[in-house]
Amino acid sequence: MSLKPYINTSFLFMGLMYTALFHSVWLISTQFEIIASTVSWYLPAGVRFAAFMLLPLRSWPMLLFSEKLTHFVLFHPGGILDNTAFLSGSLGWYLVHLLLSPALLCTSVYIFRRWFKAPYISNINSTLATLGVGLIISVVLGAVFIGRRAIELQTDITVFFPILFDFSLGDFVGLIVLCPLLFVLYDREHLHRVHTTLYWIIGAWLFLLLLSSYAYSHGTNISYQVKYLAVFPALFLSYRYAVTGSALSCLLVGVTAFVVASQSDLSPLEHQFYIIALCVSCLILGASVNHAEQMNKALRDKNEALEVAVNNAQALSSKLVNLQEDERKRLSRDLHDDFGHRIVDLKLQLSLNASNINQDSLLNKIDALYEAMKKSLGSLRPSGIDTLPIEAVIQGSTILSTLKNSHIDYGFEVTGLPYSFTSQQKIHIYRIIQEAVTNSIKYADATRLTIEINYAGSTSTFCVVDNGKGIPAQFSGSSSEHSSSTNHHTSHTPTLHTPTLGLLSMKERAKLIEGSIHIDTSATSGTSVCLTVPTP
């Protein structure tokens, strides 16, 4: 297997940055030990968790290599931070630190990342899941690290579990303080909500902490009051700025507890539970607010789309009424001006002396009357639509004759085994093809047009493809003149232009037969209008 995909400059830079941040916050964490060489607020756990949650999977080997190599450099005998507690050199230590713990960490995060995506704290479900997997990893890694030491020192089981509890809690505190902010900074999706008020609140919070330290240095301890006053800005930031505010609150809550702990002799557990309780509350509140905003935005978009759809439906309804009246007017005119005159002429011919009747002329007039009637009725409902296959109906209809009269070279192709559609399906398919051909004749200036019918098992596709100049954006409903795609199964945000009533009619007819319309149009390659109909 090639190692090239895992070793490159980008991944090396990620590894170095990760290692630098990891060991920087480690130096801070060592100031709060509750047992020898076991810190109560293990901030590096948050850096590690965030790095493996956010960075590409292929960067993981370089992250682990950089972390472990730096660990050896710092803690080996004679190193900068020579400490055998963090580098015992035993076989168990190597197995745990170089094999078992990385395997457990990577496996847990990999499984989680298959279900959730960054920033991981954008809604309640992902927030609770992220906190849950973070807690699990803290306990599992704690069991491995403390377990190895307990086996080597033969620690009693009654002592092991309290130590494991303290160790895991320290990891989880480090995770919940740092990870949310790292998530937000990496994703940057929520940073647009940052306003001046946020900076004022953060500044006031930090000023209060400085005031507490100043008062403590002069013999007045207000750390208890500061600790609980911090609850209000934390909750306000989470409510006002959603994910960004909750992430900043978690960091500031950790800083507050850090300052208070340096000014009091309270048990570390009290500070830990304070951090966890307040941070979890802030994260859930921020995620809830963000989730509500997302739902409101989606609702607004759907309302706008619904408004456009209602307007289109009203316009289509109005157009259908006008078309109906126009059709009635045309029929009335045809019956009066064409059929009426032809019938009067026939009556005059029949009223003449039988010997004077020109039978050939009379037959020609009857044939002409029949053809005119057939053409007029055919425009209302294509001939054979109830009995013939749809491809036969199209071949015998006025669609092809119209193309011929428009001097457009056309082709008609049928592939696959024909499917027997119902009369209702066939009339909608016919009208969609008729409208697509009419649009090509009117707008495309095409010289070549092909009607393609493809029967492919579970679906049938009817395409009208021309080599014209494409459908203009103001007619297609697309904000771009190069492409327009519509599927009735997918919701779209409102487009810049409203489609023409002809295209709306095509889409509505497609919905009636549970089909979908797909339109590809370009000024250089022409237009393709495809109707896909399921064939159960």
Please state, in angstroms and rounded to a whole number, the distance separating the CA atoms of residues 267 and 274: 11
489: confidence class by pLDDT, cuts 50, 70, 90: very low
pLDDT in tens, 131-178: 999 999 999 998 998 888 888 778 788 888 888 888 888 889 999 999
Query: In Å, how far from its chain's centre is CA 62?
Result: 30
Q: Using the structure block, give the residue that is written with the tokens 């973070």.
A: 134
140, 159, 180 — which closes off a domain?
A: 180
- Does 314 reside within a domain? no
Query: CA 275 → CA 158, 253, 255, 263, distances in Å?
Result: 27, 6, 10, 16
Q: Which sign, positive or negative, has the C-alpha torsion 422, 428, 434, 439?
A: negative
Strands 448-456 and 409-415, by their bridges, are parallel
Please state, in angstroms and rounded to a whole number, the distance separating the CA atoms of residues 95 and 303: 59
Query: CA 498 → CA 20, 196, 439, distances in Å?
Result: 55, 40, 16
pLDDT score, position 536: 73
pLDDT in tens, 437-481: 988 888 888 899 999 999 988 899 999 999 988 876 555 544 333
Number of domains into which the chain is organized: 2
Does residue 201 carry a pLDDT above 70? Answer: yes
- Does 434 reside within a domain? yes
pLDDT score, position 83: 60
Identify the burial level of 198 via C-beta atoms within 10 angstroms of its C-beta, where 0-12 means exposed, 13-18 middle and 19 or more buried.
Answer: middle
pTM beyond 0.85, yes or no: no
pLDDT score, position 493: 39
- Does 247 reside within a domain? no
pLDDT score, position 107: 95
Of 105, 169, 102, the residue nearest 137 (C-alpha): 105
Does residue 186 carry a pLDDT above 60? Answer: yes
195: confidence class by pLDDT, cuts 50, 70, 90: confident
- Does 1 reside within a domain? yes
Average pLDDT over residues 285-305: 92
Does residue 523 carry a pLDDT above 50? Answer: yes
Please state, in angstroms and rounded to a whole number, the distance separating the CA atoms of residues 250 and 464: 59
- Does 318 reside within a domain? no
149, 180, 211 — which closes off a domain?
A: 180
Query: Percent of the chain at pLDDT above 90?
Result: 32
- Does 212 reside within a domain? no
- How many Å is the maximal CA-CA distance in the chain? 138
- Rounded to 10 degrees, the C-alpha dihedral 319/321/322/327 comes to 120
512: confidence class by pLDDT, cuts 50, 70, 90: confident
324: confidence class by pLDDT, cuts 50, 70, 90: low
526 sits in which H/E element: strand 526-534
- Does 330 reside within a domain? no
Please state, in angstroms and rounded to a whole number, the distance separating the CA atoms of residues 254 and 522: 57
- At 118 the three-state DSSP class reads coil
Average pLDDT over residues 228-243: 92
Of 394, 386, 452, the residue nearest 420 (C-alpha): 386
Q: Using the structure block, give the residue that is written with the tokens 């607020």.
A: 41
Q: Do the beta carbons of residue 75 and residue 86 sit within 8 Å?
A: yes
**Which two three-digit tokens encode residue 291?**
């989730």
Q: Which domain holds residue 99?
A: 1-180
pLDDT in tens, 367-423: 777 666 666 665 667 778 888 999 999 988 888 888 998 989 999 999 998 888 988
Of 169, 202, 180, the residue nearest 276 (C-alpha): 169
Domain containing residue 489: CATH number: 3.30.565.10
139, 165, 180 — which closes off a domain?
A: 180
Lowest mean pLDDT among 85-89, 97-101, 511-515: 85-89
Cis peptide, bond prior to residue 494, ω within 30 of zero: no
- Does 80 reside within a domain? yes
pLDDT in tens, 338-375: 666 666 677 666 666 555 556 667 667 777 776 666 66
**Which two three-digit tokens encode residue 263?**
């000014």
pLDDT in tens, 37-75: 444 678 889 999 999 999 999 999 999 999 888 877 777
